[in-house]
Amino acid sequence: MRTDGSKLLEVLGEVRDGWRWRELWMTLGWRDVRTRHRRSNIGPFWNTLSLAFVATCIGTLYGGIMSRPAHEYIPHLVTGYMIWIFLQSLVLEGKDAFVGNASAIREIAVPKTVYIYKLLWKNLTILGFNSLVYIGVLAIFGLSPFPNIFLILPGLVIVLLNGIWAALLMGLINVRYRDLGQLVPNAMRLAFFITPILWFPEDATGIRRIFVDFNPFYYFIELLRAPLLGRAPSALIWAVTLGITVVGWSIAVPVYAHWRRRIAFWV
Amino acid sequence: MALIKLENITLEFPVQASVSERRRSSSSEKPIGGQLSAGPSGNMVVRALDQLSLTLGPGDRLALLGHNGAGKSTLLRVMAKLYAPTHGRVTVQGRVAPLLNLSFGMDMDSTGYDNIFIRGLFLGMSKAELKKKADAIAEFSELGDFLDLPMRTYSSGMRARLAFAISTHVETDILLLDEVVATGDARFFKKANEKLESFARDSKLLVLASHSNKVLRDLCNKALLLEHGRAKAFGPIDEVIDTYAASTGTDGK
């Protein structure tokens, strides 16, 4: 497979052009948030409510089993779980970025990154609704995440950059090989349990450390969870997440550049 | 300025299917559709467009004619820059508004009014522009209070009216239509006709695929006859319709 420079530039052009269509993808993203809870009275606040249920039930049950005090376990659980929902949606919806918009792709030539920005925007909005629970938890346990909370911003930028390449790559592969669409949800279900969300990373010892040390999701969760809990992510966290960003983009761009013209035929 | 220039374009679809042993057509009969052949990796390849060249400028209103599967819709999609040709070059200058599929960009659970915004944004308009134009679009569609009802309550003719109204009110240079005007009733057809004529007077470019010779005669001044993806005839509308009628053995009215 050979891809020349001009094709790579076309991809970067598409990434940039997508930004100009923000009125479109912001409208579509917000509509997606609303349509999920159409005709319900509290609408998108169901996201908030459902996270609150999880925090209450799992928080008291698992906190007790692992004999951790509530003021330690519940903030850890709520932040970790809320970030997991975000990351998981970026992966699961990223693979459907093109398949799920087939009718639009066959009809009108807007930059295909529009569909990716739409899903990023949608999930950022849902993260916003979920963070109401986080704010509630801070209030109940009297925690203050300042000043490190501001590190959430560079952290989010890194996560979103990864969301773009993951959707470009998986979205493209899934257009051609639909088995990926079946494989990914299974993998993600497993990933939830082997990633320190319900449990603490420092509790994994010995050989079990591989589930923390070699788990990319751990680094992305920690990148956002640490600032939310008022800590600064360690240098290792920054290094690994930035490294994955660079590697991911340098794989996704040439692959996408080579095949992107075929998407309209395959969806 | 509106310009569409196609230089020797060929478009092949790879299709994942194996040649069936079920039926071998005799070499004398040629099926409808594009040209089928076996690709390098055993896949079937459909050659939907075959070495097609064409130049259209401002004020041209082109009719696309041909049998089912002759490549009319595919050609429209190439002009809309949705399909990249396998060989050859496509140059399109000007803003393009395609109207190929009526259900596109339409959310059946949203109101007609909301759908003006969704489809309009897809066509490259801003929300501010759409707010200004929404009344004109609503009026042109003649849907009245139906615009406040969900789209699923609309008939196909009503959907066509709305989709057509949006696409023709967009700031655009090139309009691509695929067999859609025909869904409207006589009254709407007359209105659409006037709109398209004013469109052509403004030196814009129109390409329309249809099986209705009456629609094509009324709206277009040039025609391209496609057969199995090849250009069979190109010229003034009446001549090409006569050629097509002669080849199919109908009277072309």
Does A37 reside within a domain?
no
Percent of chain B with pLDDT over 90: 32
**Residue B199 confidence (pLDDT):** 79
d(CA B253, CA B241): 9
Per-range mean pLDDT, top range of B23-27, B67-71, B196-200: B67-71
**Residue B79 confidence (pLDDT):** 93
Q: Which of B83, B98, B104 sits opposite A264 (nearest CB)?
A: B83
Does A21 reside within a domain?
yes
Q: Helix (H, G, I), strand (E, B), or coil: what is residue B57?
A: coil
Residue A108 to chain B, least CA–CA distance (Å):
7
| E strand map for chain B | 3-15, 35-38, 44-56, 61-66, 87-93, 96-99, 174-178, 205-209, 222-227, 230-236
Q: Helix (H, G, I), strand (E, B), or coil: what is residue B33?
A: coil
Which residue is associated with the tokens 């952290």?
Answer: A155
Helix axes A5-20, A235-259, angle to 10 degrees: 110
Residue A94 CB-half CA count within 13 A: 24
Closest of B121, B94, B5 to residue B52, by C-alpha? B5
d(CA A241, CA A226): 14
Residue A25 to chain B, least CA–CA distance (Å):
9
Query: Rounded to an integer, what is the distance from CA A176 to the centroid of its chain?
Result: 23
Residue A102 to chain B, least CA–CA distance (Å):
10
**Residue A65 confidence (pLDDT):** 93
Terminal Cα distance for chain B, rounded: 34
Helix (H) or strand (E) holding B220: none
Judging contacts by C-beta atoms under 8 Å, the chain B residues touching residue A104 are 104-105, 122
Low-confidence ranges of chain A (pLDDT < 70): 1-3
Q: Helix (H, G, I), strand (E, B), or coil: what is residue B45?
A: strand
pLDDT digits (tens, 9 = 90+) for B166-210: 888 888 899 998 876 666 778 887 888 888 888 777 878 999 998
Q: Any CB–CB contact under 8 A between B126 and chain A? A: yes
Judging contacts by C-beta atoms under 8 Å, the chain B residues touching residue A28 are 118
Q: Any CB–CB contact under 8 A between B90 and chain A? A: no
Amino acid, res. B226: L
d(CA B239, CA B219): 15
Residue A104 to chain B, least CA–CA distance (Å):
6
In the predicted model, is pLDDT for residue B25 greater than 60? no
Q: Do A264 and B77 make contact, defined as CB atoms within 8 angstroms?
A: yes
Amino acid, res. A148: N
- The pTM of the full predicted model, rounded to 2 decimals, is 0.90
To test the contact with chain B by mutation, choose from A17, A26, A32, A108 the residue with the greatest count of B C-beta atoms within 10 A, namely A108
**Residue B192 confidence (pLDDT):** 82
**Residue B253 confidence (pLDDT):** 60
SS (H, E, C) B59-104: CCEEEEEECCCCCHHHHHHHHCCCCCCCEEEEEEECCEEEECCCCC
Confidence bin at B45 (pLDDT 50/70/90): confident
Which residues face B44 on adjacent strands? B15, B38
* Main-chain dihedrals φ then ψ at residue B4, nearest 5 degrees: -130, 125
Per-range mean pLDDT, top range of A184-188, B93-97, B98-102, B144-148: A184-188
Query: Rounded to an integer, what is the distance from CA A247 to the centroid of its chain?
Result: 17
Give the residue with greater pLDDT, B162 vs A222: A222
Q: What is the ipTM for the molecules in this complex?
A: 0.86
In the predicted model, is pLDDT for residue B212 greater than 70? yes
d(CA A5, CA A14): 14
* Main-chain dihedrals φ then ψ at residue A41, nearest 5 degrees: -75, -40
**Residue B198 confidence (pLDDT):** 82
What strand order describes the sheet that includes B61-66? Answer: B96-99, B174-178, B205-209, B61-66, B222-227, B230-236
Helix axes A179-194, A70-94, angle to 10 degrees: 170
Closest of A232, A197, A195 to residue A217, by C-alpha? A195
**Residue A104 confidence (pLDDT):** 86
Q: Which two structure tokens, joined as six digits, stand for B158?
A: 């009503």
Confidence bin at B10 (pLDDT 50/70/90): very high
Q: Do A31 and B80 make contact, defined as CB atoms within 8 angstroms?
A: no
Amino acid, res. B141: S
Q: How many domains does chain A divide into?
A: 1
Helix (H) or strand (E) holding A169: helix A152-176
What strand order describes the sheet that includes B35-38? Answer: B35-38, B44-56, B3-15, B87-93
Q: What is the mean pLDDT of chain B?
A: 84
Q: Which two structure tokens, joined as six digits, stand for A191?
A: 């990933």
Closest of A171, A197, A183 to residue A66, by C-alpha? A197
Per-range mean pLDDT, top range of A30-39, A167-176, B93-102, B139-148: A167-176
Does A39 reside within a domain?
no
Q: Helix (H, G, I), strand (E, B), or coil: what is residue B120?
A: helix
pLDDT digits (tens, 9 = 90+) for B73-91: 899 999 999 998 989 999 9
Domain that holds residue A148: 5-32+44-266
**Residue B107 confidence (pLDDT):** 75
Q: Do A264 and B107 make contact, defined as CB atoms within 8 angstroms?
A: no
Q: Any CB–CB contact under 8 A between B234 and chain A? A: no
Phi-psi region for residue A142, left (φ > 0), alpha (ψ -120 to 50) or beta?
Answer: left
Q: Do A23 and B121 make contact, defined as CB atoms within 8 angstroms?
A: yes
**Residue A173 confidence (pLDDT):** 95
Residue A89 to chain B, least CA–CA distance (Å):
23
Judging contacts by C-beta atoms under 8 Å, the chain A residues touching residue B80 are 108-109
d(CA A70, CA A234): 25
Q: Do A107 and B82 make contact, defined as CB atoms within 8 angstroms?
A: yes
**Residue B183 confidence (pLDDT):** 67
Helix axes A113-141, A45-65, angle to 10 degrees: 50
Pairing of strands B96-99, B87-93: unpaired
Give the residue with greater pLDDT, A184 vs B245: A184
Which residue is associated with the tokens 């409510």?
Answer: A49
Q: What is the DSSP letter of B150?
A: B
Residues shown for chain B: 253
In the predicted model, is pLDDT for residue B23 greater than 60? no
**Residue A250 confidence (pLDDT):** 96
* CA distance readout (Å), A36 to A32, A44, B63, B148, B149: 6, 8, 42, 21, 20
The fold for domain B3-17+32-248 equals Rossmann fold (3.40.50)
Q: Which two structure tokens, joined as six digits, stand for B91?
A: 């140059």
**Residue B193 confidence (pLDDT):** 81
Torsional sign, CA B17, B19, B24, B29: positive
